[in-house]
Amino acid sequence: MGHTLAEKIIARAARRDSVRPGEIVTAKVDLSMVHDSSGPRRHKPMLEQLGAKPWDPSRIVVVTDHYVPAFDAESAAILDLTRKWVREEGVDNFYDMEGICHVILPERGHLRPGIFAVGGDSHSPTAGAWGCFMFGIGATEMCGVLVTGEIWLKVPSTHLVRWTGRLGQGLAAKDVMLALCRNLGLGTVKYGVVEYTGSAIAALPMAERMVLTNMAAELGAQTGIIAPDRVTVEALAAVGVSAPDASSWQSDADASYAKVWEFDASVLQPQVAAPHTPENSAPVGDYPDVRIDQCYIGACTGAKLEDLRMAADILRGRKVARHTRLLVAPASQRITAAAAADGTLAVLTEAGAILMPSGCGACAGYGAGVLAEGEVCLSSTARNFKGRMGHPGSKVYLGSAYTVAASAVTGRVTDPRPLLAEKAAA
């Protein structure tokens, strides 16, 4: 019997010929990532108590993205501690206020097919879009990794999620994930791996694939993963990473899966998740009377260059509704620069969008853009749990950047497809 891609990566990291689901193994870590919230302020005291130093600073990536820009004295102190720690420990892979960690990792060439990595954030599975096995861990486990360079894990089973067909106009990977949250349910793939495959997945650019692996966490999975292909190799080459062995990191044809799920992308409609869970998803037409106070395009899930361009496709020549505010927080400085260079930012700001700093920001309830009691927001982020984006009495709906932008124009939850059709007919 063959092996899944996840099993192959774990076996290599565990220095084993093979592994099977349920086995407990100790794996060598190729890369560890922490940010300002999960990083030095958490593990520095532990390391000092142990009298220990990081096992290999070259394999550690630190990103400031949660408390940036500093919005009070406490956040400024957290950032100051982070900056001092990386200097003291000689961590060269430090990205200060340059973007969100899950976007920075591939953007700066830290990912490649077949690596085994851990991150101090629950959305660390994002890296699986690049053929990596990466999952989130807490501060105590991360301290252990920083000291030893190893971590134990129970080999997870893999669920294969196959999407055939092709997404229609006005649809995006976010719609795929919201449909999966509804159809599979949160926690269905508990501690397992979601491997995405099929013609619809193969047609997606890397930024869209990252949405799928990122939100595998919402399904309860330990991680998500997509086998590398030509699109992966070309994207790696664009950031200076050579992947000559990418084709070897594939699941075997006779690999065993815990379950195989089949879906048709060609019949999918734009999805919107109602408060207070991504599982409350339904076609956008099910929400005809939801008035929106704030639209938010941001976070690792929803503010990559492709997301900004989706929004621009809707907003070009249009204006944001007077009673609605549209906030846009690009996921990295490089994305901001690229969007400025190709005219995307001009389209957004001319329509009335307010440009925000790169960082986790309002997605996680930090800094500017949080919600007041009773306010309603439609967001391109991954989560809409009660109180996540501000006051617990606020309401957050989720949708793709297409849907968020269309709703900003009308001031109500809106299907983006008619607005795109108007543009095509003009």
For 56-70, what is the mean pLDDT?
96
Q: In the block, which residue shows the tokens 């957004």?
A: 348
At 361 the pLDDT is 84
At 362 the pLDDT is 84
Pick from 424, 420, 202, 397: nearest CA to 302: 397
Instruction: Provide CB contacts within 8 A for 260, sequence distance 6+.
Output: 159, 160, 162
At 288 the pLDDT is 87
At 253 the pLDDT is 94
At 28 the pLDDT is 98
Q: Is the pLDDT of residue 397 over 80?
A: yes
By DSSP bridging, strand 281-283 and strand 271-273 are antiparallel
Q: Is the pLDDT of residue 185 over 90?
A: no
Q: Is the pLDDT of residue 111 over 90?
A: yes
Which regions of 49-146 does DSSP assign to beta strands (E)? 60-64, 94-96, 116-119, 133-136
At 1 the pLDDT is 82
Question: 263-319, pLDDT tens digit by residue?
Answer: 999 999 999 999 999 999 999 999 988 999 999 999 999 999 999 999 999 999 999
In this predicted model, which residue has the larger pLDDT, 404 or 366? 404
At 363 the pLDDT is 82
Report all structural domains of the chain as residue ranges with CATH numbers, in order of start.
5-264 (3.30.499.10), 270-425 (3.30.499.10)
- What is the residue-wise DSSP string for 95-120? EESSB-HHHHHHHTT---TT-EEEES
Longest CA span, the chain: 68
State the Cα–Cα distance between residues 60 and 58, nearest whole angstrom.
Answer: 6
Instruction: Provide CB contacts within 8 A for 157, sequence distance 6+.
Output: 21, 22, 192, 193, 257, 258
At 364 the pLDDT is 81
For 199-213, what is the mean pLDDT?
98
The pLDDT confidence band at residue 51, using thresholds 50, 70 and 90, is very high
Give me the sheet containing 395-398, strands edge to edge. 281-283, 271-273, 395-398, 376-379, 294-297, 325-328, 354-355
State the Cα–Cα distance between residues 366 and 68, nearest whole angstrom.
Answer: 9
Contact criterion met (CB below 8 Å) for 315 and 351: yes
Q: Is the pLDDT of residue 426 over 80?
A: no
> Where are the alpha helices (H) located in 185-229, listed in sequence order?
199-202, 206-214
* SS3 call for 248: helix
The percentage of residues in the chain with a pLDDT greater than 70, rounded to a whole number, is 100
What count of other Cβ atoms lies within 10 Å of the Cβ of residue 407? 29
- Which residues in 223-246 are b (16+ Cβ under 10 Å) and which e? bbbbbbbebbbebbeeeebebeeb
Q: Is the pLDDT of residue 125 over 90?
A: yes
Pick from 129, 116, 137, 160: nearest CA to 16: 116
The phi-psi region of residue 151 (left if phi > 0; otherwise alpha if psi is between -120 and 50; otherwise beta) is beta
At 186 the pLDDT is 86
